[in-house]
Each structure stands twice: as C-alpha cells, then as structure tokens.
Amino acid sequence: MDSQVELLKICIGIENAISETYGYLADRFPEERAFWKALAEEEKTHARKFVVSSSLKGAAGLPSSLQLAQDALAAVKKARREIFENAGLRLEDAFEIAISLEMTAVEDFFARMQSGEADDEMKGFFGAFLLEGRQHAERLRRRLAGIRSAGRQSDRKRPRPT
C-alpha cells in the first residue's frame, strides 16, 4: 500500500475513533448527550475532510509521518479503552480523558505533521486540524469547569450503555 494512502486511512481512523468515543460518552452520560453528540459529529466531519482531501500529497515524503500517525492512533485507542472498560467512569473523568485525547494524541500529531518538513499546502491542512483540536479541548475544559462550578459532578458510578 502506498504510504500516502496508508497515512490517509490512519488519519480517518483517528477521527472516527474519537467520534465513536464521544458517541459512547453521549450514551453513557445522558445529561451531557447533546454536548458529546455535537463533538462526535464534528469528528465525523474531520474524517470526511480527510476522505475528500488531496492535500496529503506531500505527506508521503515525510519519513516519520506514518509512525506519527500510528502512534497517535495507538494513543486514541488507549484512551478509548480507558473509557470503555471503566465501569465506574465519572463524568469528570470522561471530560479529563477527552481533554487528554484532544491535547496529547491529536494535537501532538497534527502539530508534528505541520512541522517544517511538510510543504505549505500540507502545513495549512494539518494546521486547521490542530486549531480545531485546540478548540475542542478548550470547549471541553469550559464545559468541565461549568459542571464543577454547578456541583453536577457525582461520585456515583455510571453503568455502561447497552
């Protein structure tokens, strides 16, 4: 498989995995369903952008791009497992993991992909994803702060959705 196609598939996989995670959180925490669903939809939109983009033509020449993408996907999958396998997941925990997901796995990956090795078109493409990841993290932080200030956080365990 050509490295550009493989990179594209991994990027789509990252966005879809995050979307599925947010969809799961929408079911797990019905009081925040609309918030998580909106994020899930935005991540699906990101995946579609990769599908229709031709902006990755310069990515194949980056020697470390595939490894970076694979590392980011592994980090996303690890966070998903942490959420999916945690029967006692609290709403606050879900927000903390989601913030980490946006900042650590995704932002680090997109920041590196827009590094000096990339051509200008690719820098712009990945820069847009980097900005959106930062915006998601900020929205998550604000929402978490609002939940904490309203005293909505509960230590009770949430059952997994069926």
Q: Containing H/E element for 125?
A: helix 120-150
Beta carbons of 133 and 117 less than 8 angstroms apart:
no
Intra-chain end-to-end CA distance of the chain, in Å: 37
**CA geometry: angle 118, 115, 132, nearest 5 deg:** 105
Cα–Cα distance measured from residue 116 to residue 29, given in angstroms and rounded to the nearest whole number? 41
| Tens-level pLDDT at each residue, the chain (162 residues) | 567 778 888 888 999 999 999 999 999 999 999 999 999 999 999 888 887 775 555 555 554 677 888 888 999 999 999 999 998 999 999 999 999 988 877 778 888 777 756 677 777 888 888 888 899 999 999 999 999 998 865 544 545 555
Residue burial 88-120, b: 16+ Cβ < 10 Å; e: rest: ebbbeebbebbbbbbbbbbbbbbbbbbeebbee
pTM to 2 decimals?
0.84
| Residues contacting residue 159 through CB under 8 Å, at least 6 positions apart | 87
Nearest to 111 by CA among 130, 125, 95, 133: 130
Domains of the chain in start order, with CATH, are 3-150 (1.20.1260)
